Structure 1
Amino acid sequence: MEKTPKEMLKAYVNSQKFSSTTEIMDAMKEMFRDILQQVMESELDTELGYEKSQRMSDSGVENKPRNYRNGYSKKTVKTQLGAVDVKVPRDRNGEYEPQIIGKYSRNADGMEEKILGLYACGMSQRDISEQIKSLYDVDISPELVSKISEKIMPEVTAWQNRPLEAVYPFVFLDAIHYKVKENHQYQ
C-alpha cells in the first residue's frame, strides 16, 4: 500500500532530526529543487514522447526525425527560499523549452511580484535589492530591479492616463455606541 503524503512527510521529518529553522528552510529548498527538476524531466518526457529509460522505436512517429536526450545545462534560479541550482534537461534537436521556468528566466514565481510591490510603495532600486537580500538571501542588482519595474511601466502609464468617471459615489458609515449603566439607562 502506498503511503499518504502526510505519512511520508512525518517519516522524512523524523529521519532528519531538524534542530533549527535554518535546517528546515535548507531542506525545503532542496525539496523545491528536486520537484522542479522532476517537473522539467516530465516536460521533456512529454516533448520526446518516451520516458528516460526507454528508447524511441524505429516504428515511432512517421516523418519526424528521431530526437534524444542530450544531457543537462546548469541554471541558477532565484526563489523565495534563496538561490537554487537546477539541471535543465536538453534534447539533441534543441526543441525542448522548459515551461515551468522559461528558457531565459532566472526568477521563480513570486519574486517579481514582491519586487514590483516594493517598487510601487516608493522604495528605491537599491533599497529593494537590499530588502530581497535580507529576506531571501538572494543577490539581485539594482539593474535587475530596474528591468523588472520597466516591465510594468506601460501598465502603470495606461492606468494613470485612463479616462475618469464624472462621478464616483461613496458611502460614509458612522456608528454610535451606547454604554449601558448599571440601572439600565443609556448614556
Structure 2
Amino acid sequence: MRERPKRIYTAPSEERGYELMVEVTDKWNKFYTNSMKSWNSNWDVLTPIFKFSSEVRKVIYTTNAIESLNSTYKRLNRQRSVFPSDTSLLKALYLATQVATKKWAYPLRNWGKVYGELSIMYADRIPE
C-alpha cells in the first residue's frame, strides 16, 4: 500500500491527486476503513501540498523528521518497556535522539531549487 499514497503526493495536479486518492480508497477501503475515511474527510487539509513543485513535495513527504523521531522512540520503547528511573529514560531518549539525528545529515536532492522556492514563498520565515 505504500506506493499508492506516494503516487498521490507526486501527482502533477490536485485534480489528478484526487483521482488517485479515489482509486486508493476504492481498492483499500475494505481493509483500512478508518484510514481511507480520514483521507476523504481531510482532503482539503492535504491539498495545499499541490501548490509546491514536485521537488519541494518530495522533500515534504520523504523527510518528516518528527515521524522519524517518533519511530525511533517507539523502537526504543518496544526493546525496553520498563526503565528503572526517570533519569534512565531521559538518558535513553537522549541517546536515541543522537542516533536518529545522524540520519538527517544527508544532503537533500535539488536542495538549491527547493530552498529557492521556499524562500520566495516564505520570505518572512526563512533567513537569507
Larger Rg: 1
Q: What TM-score does the superposition give when structure 2 sets the normalisation length?
A: 0.37
**Bigger relative contact order (CA 8 A; separation at least 6):** 2
Q: What TM-score does the superposition give when structure 1 sets the normalisation length?
A: 0.27
Q: Relative to total residues, which structure has the larger strand share, 1 or 2?
A: 1
